Chain A
C-alpha cells in the first residue's frame, strides 16, 4: 500500500493535464475539480487506514542498500495523515476559491505534484530520494506562490526560489559528503555505520541543519516566508504554512538528527534556534496590519515552538513536538482558509479596512474563532494541550527557561489573534460590506472539517489515544527502532 501515496497524486497530476487538453468544453473545470478532490480524498482515506501499520517497502524488489526503499513507521504515518487531511480540505476549498484565477486548470496538477513530493519525503528511506521528492514539492510550491502573477507575487516567488535553491544546495552538498563517507545512501545503513560514533558525520549534519532550517523558515533564515505565504492563493497558503514547511523542514531535520544519527549537538542547536524564532516572530507578528502576513509570522513563531520541543531531546519533548506539529497544521490551515474566505468576499487583506464580518459571514467567523482559540491555547482545543505538553516537557527536562519562552510566545500569539478577531470579525460594521454574503458551501465545509478536527485533536491528549497515535510517532525517533524496522 505504501507506494500508492506517491502513485495516486503523481498520476492525478498528469491525468488532469491530459484531461484539460482532451476536453474542450467548460465541462473540464468540473472534471478536474472532481478528479483532484477524488485523489486527495483517496489519499486521506489511505493514510487513515495505515494508522498503526509499519513496514519497509523495497521498490522493484531490489533490497537496500542498493535498491530504493520506502519506510512507514509511526512518525511517517502520522505525518501522512496530517498532510493528506489538510490537502483534502485545501482542494475542497479550491473548487470555488480558485475560480477567480485564469489558469485554474493547471492549478490542480501543480497542487497534486506538491502533495506527491511531500508524501515522498515522508516515506523516503534513503537520502537521495528524499532530496528528489523535496525538490518536487519545492519546485511546485515556487510556481504556486507566484500563481496570481501580480508583480508582488512574482517577487515573493523569486525570493522563495532563491532561498529554497540555497537550501537545496546545502542539502545536496550534505548528501554528497555522506555518500563519500559511507558509500551508501540508505538511511538505515548509514545509521548502522555511524552508531558507534555519531560525530563521524558532523559536517554533513551541519549542512543539513542549515538547509532544512531554511526550508522550515526558522529565525535567521525566515525572511522568505512572510512574503511567500501571503502571496499564494489561500488554499496554497494553507498547504505551505500548514504542512509544507513542516514536512520539508521539521520532519526531515528531526528524522535525520534524531531518527538516523542521534545527534545531541543538533538538539542544542534546535533548542536555541527555536527560542530565537519564538522571540523574533512573536514580536514582529504583533506589528502586522496584513491579515495573512500576521498568520505567516504566527507560523514562524509556532515553528520555533516545535523546534524548541524537539530540541529538548527527551521522549516527552518529542511527543509534545509531534503533537504541536499536528495541531498547528490543522489550525493554521484553518486560519489561512478563513482569511481566504474573507478575501474572497471583501477583496482585501488589510485588517483596518475590515470589521463586523461576524454577522455577515457566521460560518467563517465561527471557524476563525475556533482556529484563533486553538492557536492561542484556550483550553478545550488542541492547541492548549500541545502547548501544555511542551511546557511540561521543558520543565521535566530541567529547562524552565525554555518553558518561559514558550509561555511568552503563547501570550503574544493570544494578543495578536485577539486583535484579529476584534478588528476583522467583531468591531464596528463597515458600510461597504453591508451586502456581504457567506462564502459558497464547498468553502464552508472545508473550514468546518478543519474546525471539527481542531477540537478533535484535543482528544489525542487522553492516554488511550496518545498511546495509539502519538507514542508510536515519538518512538520512531530512535535510531535503534529505525534500524530494526528496515534491516530486520
Chain B
C-alpha cells in the first residue's frame, strides 16, 4: 500500500487491513465484515445467559475468540493487531483469571466460604431476572474473558511466530 499516492485513505486500511500482508480474497473479507460482529455478539450472549440457557463462560468465550480468529484468517495480521494485540489479550487473560479469583475470594470476605453465592444471599433470588443466579453470571463473564483471550492468544502466537533451529538452540522468531 502506497501511502504517498493516497490510493487508499487510512480508514480503508483499518477496514481492509494492509494489502501487502493480507490473507484471503475480497469475497471472504466482505463476508467476514458482515458476520464478525454477529459472531462476537453471539459469544457475548452465550456468556451472559450461561446461567439460564445451555452454554456459559467457556463456550461463549470460545465463540467470541472465533470471531477474532476469523478476522486473523481473512485479513492477515494487520487488522487484528489494531483490534486486540498480543499484549492486550495477555492483559485481558490475566484480568479474567484474577476477576474469577476475586469473586471467589469475595465469598470468603462476605459469607465466610470460598465461592459462596453472596449476591444471591444478600438480595435473594429474583426469578426471571438477569441476576437470578447471584454471582454466577459474573463468574461466567470472568471465564468468558479469560477463555476468549487465552484461545485467541494461542492461535495468534502460533500464527505470528516460527520456531527455527539456530545452532543447538530453538528460537522463536516473528514471521515477516
Contact = CB atoms under 8 A, between A and B. Distances in A.
Whether A and B are associated in the same complex: the answer reads: yes
Interface of A: 3, 7, 10-11, 14-15, 17-18, 21-22, 57-61, 149-152, 154
B149 to A, nearest CB: 11
Nearest to A149: B170
Contacts of A149: 169-172
A348 to B, nearest CB: 15
A22 B94 CA distance: 12
B91 A18 contact: yes
A7 B104 contact: yes
A112 B91 CA distance: 18
A154 B170 CA distance: 8
Interface residues of B, number: 25
Contacts of A154: 170
A151 B163 CA distance: 11
A12 to B, nearest CB: 10
B170 A60 contact: no
Nearest to B172: A149
A3 B108 CA distance: 10
Given A60-B107, A149-B170, A15 B98 contact: yes
- Of A3, A7, A14, A154, chain B has the most CB atoms within 10 Å of the CB of A14
B165 interface: yes
Contacts of A3: 104, 108, 114
B105 A7 contact: yes
8 closest Cβ contacts across the A-B interface? A60-B115, A3-B114, A14-B94, A18-B94, A14-B97, A17-B94, A61-B113, A61-B116
Contacts of A60: 107, 113-117
A150 B98 contact: no
Interface string B9-51: 0000000000000000000000000000000000000000000
B95 to A, nearest CB: 7
A69 B175 CA distance: 47
Interface in B133-173: 165, 168-172
A11 B98 contact: yes
B90 A17 contact: yes
A220 B170 CA distance: 31
Contacts of B116: 60-61
A10 to B, nearest CB: 6
Contacts of A151: 165, 168-170
B87 interface: yes
B55 interface: no
B101 interface: yes
A18 B171 contact: no
Contacts of A14: 94, 97-98, 101
Contact of A150 (B94, B107, B111, B169): B169
26 contacts: A10-B101, A11-B98, A14-B97, A14-B101, A15-B94, A15-B98, A17-B90, A18-B91, A18-B94, A18-B98, A21-B87, A21-B91, A21-B94, A22-B91, A57-B113, A59-B114, A60-B114, A60-B116, A61-B111, A61-B113, A149-B169, A151-B165, A151-B168, A151-B170, A152-B168, A154-B170
B117 to A, nearest CB: 7
A315 to B, nearest CB: 34
Contacts, number: 58
Nearest to B107: A60
Contacts of B170: 149-151, 154
Contacts of B168: 150-152
Contacts of B111: 61
Contact of A7 (B87, B94, B101, B113): B101
A460 B113 CA distance: 35
* Residue in B97, B105, B114, B165 with the greatest tally of chain A CB atoms within 10 Å: B114
B104 A21 contact: no
A321 B142 CA distance: 43
Contacts of B107: 60
Contact of B114 (A7, A17, A18): A7
A168 to B, nearest CB: 19
Nearest to A151: B168
A59 B113 contact: yes
Nearest to A70: B114
Report which residue of B87, B91, B111, B170 has the largest number of chain A beta carbons within 10 angstroms of its beta carbon. B170
B99 to A, nearest CB: 10
Contacts of B117: 60-61
Contacts of A59: 113-115
Contacts of B108: 3
Nearest to B169: A150
A281 B170 CA distance: 31
Nearest to B88: A21
A68 to B, nearest CB: 9
A151 B171 CA distance: 10
A11 B91 contact: no
Contacts of A10: 97, 101
Interface string B83-123: 00001001101110110010011011001011111000000
Contacts of B165: 151
Contacts of A152: 168
Contacts of B115: 59-60
B123 to A, nearest CB: 16
A18 B89 CA distance: 11
B77 to A, nearest CB: 20
A72 to B, nearest CB: 14
A298 B47 CA distance: 50
Interface string B52-89: 00000000000000000000000000000000000100
A336 B113 CA distance: 39
Nearest to A154: B170
Given A15-B94, A58-B113, 12 more contacts: A3-B108, A7-B101, A14-B94, A17-B94, A18-B95, A21-B87, A21-B91, A21-B94, A22-B91, A59-B113, A59-B114, A151-B165
B50 to A, nearest CB: 17
A14 B98 CA distance: 7
B103 to A, nearest CB: 11
Given A150-B170, A151-B165, A151-B168, A21 B113 contact: no
